[in-house]
Amino acid sequence: MGMCGIFATTNDKNSAQTILSGLKKLEYRGYDSWGIAVKGRTRLRSQKQVGKISVSQTTLPQSNMGIGHTRWATHGGVTVANAHPHFDCSGKLALIHNGIVDNYQELEKKIKGHKLIGQTDSEIVAHLIEKELKTEKDLFRAVKKVVRMTEGFNAFVVMHQDFPYLVTAKTGSPVVIGIRPGANMLSSDVASLLSHTKQVIFLTDGQIAKVAPDKVRIENYSGVKKIKPVVQTIDWTAKSASKSGFPHFMLKEIYDQPAVLIKIVESKIKEVREFAKTISKAKNVFTVACGTASYAALAGQYLFSRLAGRQVTPAIGSEFYYNDGFINSRSLCIALSQSGETLDTLQSVKFAKDRGAKAVSLVNVQGSSLDRLSDQTVLLEAGPEKAVASTKAFLAKVAILLLTASALKRKTPRAVIEIKQAIRAIRKILSPDYQKYLKKLAERFKHSHSMFILGRGVSYPAALEAALKIKEVSYIHAEGFAAGELKHGVIALVNQNTPCLVFAPNDETYSDIISGAMEVKARGGIIIGVSFKPNPMFDYYLPVSDSGSGTILPNVVVAQCLAYYLAVARGLDPDMPRNLAKSVTVK
Ligand code: F6R
């Protein structure tokens, strides 16, 4: 059922309330509709609604056990009937689901005569379990049989009025069990559990768990062998997952960035050197990532070439399979991901590993599928990223790639200095006067039809990332370009008053990028220069002090802030852009 959030309690005296707060923290995973079911004295009680959960209240009665879901639709429209939980014909069984059951049409044939209310693949699974329970009297075993029949990358949670436990299975999408003695819980992510517990068990693909208030039993759903659960302690704090007084998570996470970079230069050098060693042993190196993470990877390509003379081939997660020819046991696959759950990235890594390649991941979420799948992980340690638009994870990835490229040439100290310069430059951008100016610019350009962002060299991926941020949160059409490409076609789109953000750092690209800006200006475009020094070419000037190879970091921060203020100026919620979800766990 798409990319959704699941949250459940086994013994909480205010279960509906606790689930509602849990779902509010998971809303970034999907926010078109939501629902909760709790156990009543004699029957299940439920509430389902279309629309954002952040402003909603629950009307459900007190109960200890319950399951809840926030949805991002893939199968079936956004309606109350399609919102989860889904029920069987008896109304005693409730199911929530994350993912897509690929063979749902085939499975639907097995439940002829059952009464379906909505159009989702998930509801079919609830009825299949009902059917199975007619012969198999144990809920855990019945769910197990049905999960085996499903195809795709899913997570299921099932509750039944007559059974004192929940059943959850993972065939792809994340499931985290929160260990709270006497009151175990379930969620799609760690951050939503932090206010209750820091002890968690990550289910892995192929596992099914019976979660009772004080007991967890895990098995492989294809076998019968009991698996010893591995309980991990998470070192994030609940505060790091809250807005801390900021109006939006996006702004809070933009402001987290200096601290994220400080942590990297202070505590990651040893890990970075290990990572560099792995790279130097590989014959060919490629990166896989999606969206913002793929732009961090592209920046990596420029940095590895400039700082280490090392070729790294970037691929987008969904395109990776088409590079099959050169992936073998001497290849290294570097996967970059904030969530560690992006399906296209995960599948690319599996694909590379199947061909004998080694996999290293740069990932933010400890214990995520990507972390577990990789031979080596460099954790970003950026803390929970809740806004749908990725900000601090991008900076963390680029900083780690910059350090790693430098480590290949034993030049880490230089990179540390540059990142520290970048931190100072970011602090200036985050100062009240600078922010005021950015807000003013956003007011000035909030009705623009399109925007262009130009860069060359490592500022080219910065331009792509800036355009993505502006597009996804402000819905203004924005395009990032390698400035040299303009005259090969795109310049036809520039007309009177088209704003154009130009990255002009103190490097080998400076004079050429200024020429590119000139071409735009000559056609009526308005130039917003992001540079270490003013230039008569600029109609507006956003100063960013030189941080050598680290300048991409503050440059991107300028664009993040501008995107944020454009969204706010247009009356939009930057944390939850339309049509998007934080973890893209479907193809
Ligand atoms: C854009 C954004 C997405 C993600 C992409 C990959 O702001 O957040 O483009 O970067 O969906 O997600 P992760 O990094 O979790 O693999």
Structure tokens, 187? 């969620």
* CA–CA separation, 20 and 14 (whole Å): 10
Statement: residue 2 has pLDDT above 60: no
292 lines ligand 1 (CB under 6 A): yes
- The overall average pLDDT reported for the chain is 93
Quote the percentage of the chain above a pLDDT of 90.
81
How confident is the model at residue 585, as a pLDDT?
A: 58
400 contacts: CB under 8 Å, gap ≥ 6: 264, 268, 272, 275, 362, 378, 380
How confident is the model at residue 366, as a pLDDT?
A: 87
Mean pLDDT of 17-37: 90
563 lines ligand 1 (CB under 6 A): no
342 lines ligand 1 (CB under 6 A): yes
Catalytic annotation present for 500: no
Write out pLDDT tens, residues 51-83.
Answer: 888 888 999 999 999 999 998 887 788 999 999
Catalytic annotation present for 283: no
Mean pLDDT of 365-374: 91
* CA–CA separation, 383 and 394 (whole Å): 13
How confident is the model at residue 236, as a pLDDT?
A: 75
Mean pLDDT of 215-231: 90
How confident is the model at residue 51, as a pLDDT?
A: 87
Write out pLDDT tens, residues 509-542.
Answer: 999 999 999 999 998 999 999 999 999 999 999 9
Spacing, Cα 289 to ligand 1 middle (Å): 8
Which amino acid, one-letter code, is at 291? G
pTM of the full predicted structure? 0.78
Statement: residue 237 has pLDDT above 80: no
Spacing, Cα 272 to ligand 1 middle (Å): 23
Statement: residue 265 has pLDDT above 50: yes
337 lines ligand 1 (CB under 6 A): yes
Write out pLDDT tens, residues 439-465.
Answer: 999 999 999 999 999 999 999 999 999
Write out pLDDT tens, residues 99-131.
Answer: 889 899 999 999 999 999 999 999 999 999 999
389 lines ligand 1 (CB under 6 A): yes
Q: Which of 48, 92, 131, 582 is an active site residue?
A: 582
- Per DSSP, which regions of 404-551 are E strands? 450-455, 477-482, 499-504, 526-531, 540-543
Mean pLDDT of 549-578: 95
How confident is the model at residue 583, as a pLDDT?
A: 62
Statement: residue 180 has pLDDT above 60: yes
How confident is the model at residue 1, as a pLDDT?
A: 40
How confident is the model at residue 3, as a pLDDT?
A: 66
How confident is the model at residue 63, as a pLDDT?
A: 94
Statement: residue 363 has pLDDT above 50: yes
Spacing, Cα 190 to ligand 1 middle (Å): 18
| φ/ψ bin of 58: left (φ > 0), alpha (ψ from -120 to 50), beta (otherwise) | beta
* CA–CA separation, 345 and 319 (whole Å): 10
Mean pLDDT of 487-492: 83
Spacing, Cα 42 to ligand 1 middle (Å): 44
What residue owns the CA closest to ligand 1's atom 11? 291
Nearest ligand 1 atom to alpha carbon 389: 7
* CA–CA separation, 163 and 146 (whole Å): 17
